[in-house]
Structure 1
Amino acid sequence: MTDHTQKNNRVSIPHQIWPAAWLRAAEPQAAAEMGITLYDLMQRAAQAAYTLARHQYPHSRHWLVLCGHGNNGGDGYVLARLAREAGITVTLLAQGGDNPLPDEATQARAAWLDSGGTAGCLAAPWPEDADLIIDGLLGTGLQQAPRAPVAAAITRANQHPAPVLALDIPSGLLAETGATPGAVICADTTITFITLKPGLLTGKARDVVGQLHHHDLGLGPWLAQQQAPMERLDETGLAGWLPPRRATANKGDHGKLVVIGGDTGTCGAIRMAGEAALRAGAGLVRVLTRAENIAPIITARPELMVHELTPDTLSDALAWADVVVIGPGLGQQSWGKRALQKVENVRKPMLWDADALNLLAINPDKRQNRVITPHPGEAARLLNCTIADIENDRLAASRRLVARYGGTVVLKGAGSVIADTEHLCIADVGNAGMASAGMGDVLSGIIGALLAQKLPPLIATCAGCVAHGAAGDALARDSGMRGMLATDLFTRLPRFVNP
């Protein structure tokens, strides 16, 4: 069993992510290679969940086990038997159906009944004194909204006062995408088996997964021989991405960055992006903005070099800079459009955000030297679809953005997705307190600074997203989420860019 120490509602879970469909297809081969049966795996899963339940909820005495009509329900039957044998009162309610259960679930149900257990229907009265609910209704094969009677059972479970432990995945959460097309279990704890599935980390996952645990069921040696197609990112990766500086380094060694934006009324956006770049270690940062913004920005942050954005200053800055960030507060009027048209021809590494992305959606192009950082609304405009389309499959949307626009993409949100032509990553950092104005501007500055320090685009983007999210998590731990400001991240960011 993995370590139970809670950290940001996470315990020690893998960094490799696998599609649920791949695992379902590979599981028989994996079991065979390890010399065990699929029923052995089911018993191991139930034992792992039972052990976790006793650890997490040691005072619970009456367990309500909800079993669906698949192998997820089979896990529930085995767990119920283990609990009953330990002297716990168990009420098991199961989904009916004309189709036979899978072989392993059939064995598990028979063992439960042979041990003296009973199985009521989901619509039967639920015990009011149940103090733990085990969710074994729907597994990782779900691809649509749950139907009756399972949907009704999910609703009842969410209304019941007892905490919920979900087996493998909360019922109703789609394992591949994190979408919730209908009723979904709001679990307090989830234990997932063998591999980490992408739907546990992005989309609506954070609303319903609770504290996430993992158990490989003894298949670790087999998994180590496989190549995972996706990666979970957290702050443990920062030390590998951000090596210590040489003792003799000077500011020129750490990159020259120009940030462009801050139309009338949006001085704050470009100031935050510029300061974030300095805080993330860029050697020199030049800001090009409206003339009226110069004094406020210099007053607030004198380390920035601030100039009025004109054709001449833009040409000079683009020749001077190693990296370009454009978009924060840029606007979509002629002032911003003219600047973007000139930046389009630059072959240096660059990052486009905010209104640069809205203008890109109007005149799309594809280039490999660019990082784009859309939130779901901007992504919907870039792909000419709805926000719901983006959120229903954030991984697919990220791949589509890369295919259409090239370079490296960050699809921001709860479980930001980072992609290029060869990689797909989910940043398992950040919190709802960061849903506030200016956070994206700070992220743009951080990634731009890491690009200026000569990190490859994918690494700069991954490290930037993780440092940004981890700084927000540190703030939330210390002060809570509500009221978090984007500039508050500057008090925590140095810790994460100096791992």
Structure 2
Amino acid sequence: MMRGISTVNEQLPSHCWPVGDIAGLEQKLCHKHDGSPYTLMWQAGEALARLVSKHYADARHCLILCGTGNNGGDGFVLAYLLHQAGIKVTVVEARLHNERPVEAARAKAVWDNVAPQAPLSAGDPWPCDIDLIVDALFGIGLHQAPREESQGLIDLANHHAAPVLAVDIPSGLEARTGQPLGSALQAAVTLTFITLKPGLLTGKGRAYSGKLWVADLGLSRLLPQLSPPIECLTARHLPQWLPQRQASAHKGDMGKVVIIGGAEGTAGAIRLSGEAALRSGAGLARVLTHPSNIVPLLAARPELMVAELTPQSLKEALDWADIVAIGPGLGQSDWAKNALEDVKLSKKTMVWDADALNLLAIEPDKRQNRVLTPHPGEAARLLGISVAEVEADRLAAAHLLVQRFGGVAVLKGSGTIITDGSATSIAYVGNPGMASGGMGDVLTGVVTALLGQGLEPFEAACAAVVAHGHAADLVANDHGMRGMLALDVIEKLRISVNPLQDLNE
């Protein structure tokens, strides 16, 4: 592996930093490091050149889009280094609207001294033999849509056959939120510097950034001095939450859970939650549901204890259970509302999902003994805003959920966010194959089971999201993404929740 660079598959860094002015991060670090921004620019260019030499070794002609800021300076350094290595380089310069920063101007002067040809401007035609496009137009300081000229360059790169390597972050992508600001560049690979940025991990950032690499430039050790980090969760974190069981363990140790839901005609939702709880290690799982669901559920999964949801059965279950989950397939009838009112009286740790969240949006309350697991639509109803507003700033939406409703919020989606208001994590697992019905019901069961096995609510939510997403990744690796079913993910949960055990032995 190249010095200073790590991969998603090998060792993606565990943190990113939610700095208020993320565009000033390098300057702050340079000041603390007593270093030079120009030195950092060369280190960034060298890291880019190493990546190109290893992963695009067949590239004979690179086109580099250079913006007017320090991101463009990184591009000029790379152009110089690739030229010195014998690779043909064409530079396309964005029009200069303001004075170029001193460091970027120095880097451009170095390139100009060896440039075999004048740089192309935005309107010039590109050569036909381009093997690799390097995007050094905009860095992490972009907070508004690029100008029309730059939008045009982004569109040209997106429609070109050559792969795109993004410098620090794909141009047009907001580094804090992961939202495109107008046109955003679709990268095959992104090499980001010093630390991960939240926008690369959540929202649409995952779709635009491609394979992530990080070059810390020797400065990541200084990051803890700046601000609290957001944890970037991957499957390698699973062993810290899910150790092997003691030889003396019995079902009473592994949690007694009750899952409430499944109105008439929605047996599937509550079955998925119950089965996922069992596959995630719950000792005993009781399901309270509509009477028409009892026989189908017992036939499909006899290990579940299934009973009709009545005031008496609910009271008994709430007394019996260690952990309570409510919502999958619950509906919003009087039957559902009455059950939720009884559940509200319990002081036990709970998971609220699906229609429990929709009912909470109608009658809000705040409590600390629950995990909320909304998808963006449910989060929008809870917050009284649009889905677009939730997705525009997922981190802010997740924190607002905790402020208003308490407990732990799990904002599902690409780069699921987990927060209790003080600690925050982004899960870098899962794939688009999960865009099918029932996946949220499965997650409810996993969170419930892990709470029953003794994890604290924030830990249980983090572990469940990672185990769930990792199981889906295992399905995708075996069979592809399209056509993935929730039951397929449940089958792979046995691997995800046993990270220290080889189930094939």
Please state which band the TM-score falls in when normalised by the shorter chain: over 0.9
Residue deviations 1:391-447 (CA, integer Å, cap 9, x gap)? 111000001101010000000001000011211110000000011111100100000
Deviation for aligned residue 1:494: 1.2
- Cα deviation per residue 1:224-249 (whole Å; 9 max; x = unaligned)? 65554211011111111112222111
Q: Which moved more, 1:275-284 or 1:20-29?
A: 20-29
Q: CA deviation at 1:220?
A: 3.3
Q: Which residue of 1 aligns with 2:238?
A: 238
Question: Per-residue deviation at 1:19?
Answer: 2.9
CA contact (8 A) 1:17 1:228 kept: no
Provide the residue aligned with 1:452 in structure 2: 452
User: What are the ranges of 5 or more consecutive residues in structure 2 without an aligned counterpart?
Assistant: 500-505
> How far off is 1:11 after superposition?
4.9
Percentage of pairs with the same residue = 54
Where 2:257 maps in the other structure, the secondary structure is strand
* Offset at residue 53 of structure 1 (A): 1.2
Equivalence for 2:503: none
Q: Partner of 1:306: helix, strand, or coil?
A: strand
Q: Matched residues in 1 for 2:320 and 2:63: separation?
A: 67
Q: Deviations over 1:189-218 (max 9, x none)?
A: 110000100000011012211111000011
* Contact 2:367 2:406 survives alignment (8 Å): yes
* 2:153 alignment partner in structure 1: 153
Could you tell me which residue of structure 2 aligns to residue 142 of structure 1? Answer: 142
Give the equivalent residue in structure 1 for 2:18.
Answer: 19
Q: Give the structure 1 partner of residue 55 of structure 2.
A: 56
**TM superposition shift of 1:33:** 4.0
- Counterpart Cα distance in 1 of 2:115 and 2:20: 35
The structural deviation recorded for 1:222 is: 2.4
1:157 partner amino acid: A
Q: Larger deviation: 112-121 or 133-142?
A: 112-121
Contact 2:5–2:47, Cα closer than 8 Å, also in 1: no
Equivalents in 1 of 2:270, 2:146: separation in Å?
A: 46
Aligned-partner Cα distance in 1 for 2:435–2:248: 40
Name the CA distance, whole Å, in 1 between partners of 2:480 and 2:491. Answer: 15
- Partners of 1:408 and 1:425 lie apart in 2 by 11
SS of equivalent residue, structure 1 residue 351: strand
Change (3 A) 1:229 1:5: closer
Counting only pairs closer than 5 Å after superposition, residues 148-297 of structure 1 correspond to structure 2 as: 148-223=148-223, 228-297=228-297
Confirm whether residue 96 of structure 1 aligns to residue 101 of structure 2: no
TM-score with structure 2 setting the length: 0.96
Residues 181 and 227 (structure 1), Cα distance of their counterparts in 2 relative to 1, 3 Å cut: closer
Contact 2:4/2:218 (<8 A) preserved:
no
In 1: Cα distance, 2:195 partner to 2:38 partner = 18
Q: CA deviation at 1:20?
A: 5.7
Task: Go from structure 1 to structure 2 and tell me whether the alpha carbon gap of 1:98 and 1:263 turns closer, same or farther (over 3 Å shift).
Answer: closer
Aligned twin of 2:78: 79
Shift of 1:373: 0.3
Contact 1:64 1:132 in 2 (8 A): yes
| Secondary structure in 2 matching 1:121 | coil
Distance 2:167 2:52 in 1: 11
Deviations 1:27-83 (A, max 9, x none): 234224434311000000011011101211111111111011111111001100111
Residue 6 of structure 1: CA displacement? 6.5
Match of 2:393 in 1: 393
The answer to whether the aligner puts 1:65 opposite 2:51 as a matched pair is: no
Q: Is the 8 A contact 1:16 1:228 kept in 2?
A: no
Which letter does structure 2 place at the counterpart of 1:344? Answer: K
Residues 340-355 of structure 1: pairs in structure 2 closer than 5 A: 340-355=340-355
Query: Secondary structure in 1 aligned to 2:303?
Result: coil
Q: Secondary structure at the match of 2:148?
A: coil
User: Counterparts in 2 of 1:340-419, with a 5 A limit?
Assistant: 340-419=340-419
Aligned partner letter, 1:257: V
Q: Distance in 1 between matches of 2:336 and 2:483?
A: 31
**Counterpart Cα distance in 1 of 2:441 and 2:449:** 12
- Identify if the C-alpha distance between structure 1 residues 13 and 173 changes in structure 2 by more than 3 Å, giving closer, same or farther: same
Deviations 1:158-184 (A, max 9, x none): 111111000000001110000013101
Aligned to 2:128: 128
Q: CA deviation at 1:87?
A: 1.3
1:405–1:71 Cα change, 3 Å:
same
CA 1:495 to 1:451, structure 2 compared with 1: closer, same or farther past 3 Å?
A: same
Bigger Cα displacement from structure 2, 117-126 vs 181-190: 117-126
**Structure 1: unaligned runs, 5 residues or longer:** none
- Contact 1:241–1:463, Cα closer than 8 Å, also in 2: yes
2-side partners of 1:211 and 1:20: how far apart?
A: 23
One-letter amino acid of the structure 2 residue matched with residue 397 of structure 1: A
AA matched with 2:146: P
Deviations for 1:305-363, whole angstroms, at most 9, x for unmatched residues? Answer: 00000010011111111110000000011111110011111110000000000110000
Partner deviation per Cα, 1:477-496 (whole Å, 9 max, x = no partner): 11100111101112211111
2:474 and 2:366 map into 1 onto residues whose CA distance is 37
Find the aligned partners of 2:254 and 2:158 in 1 and give their Cα distance.
Answer: 52
What CA distance in whole angstroms lies between the structure 2 residues aligned with 1:287 and 1:21?
45
Scaled by the length of structure 1, the TM-score of the pair is 0.97
Shift of 1:25: 3.1
Q: Does 1:39 align with 2:38?
A: yes
Contact 1:416 1:427 (C-alpha < 8 Å) held by counterparts: yes
Q: Which amino acid aligns with 2:348?
A: K
Alignment of 1:419-438 (within 5 A): 419-438=419-438
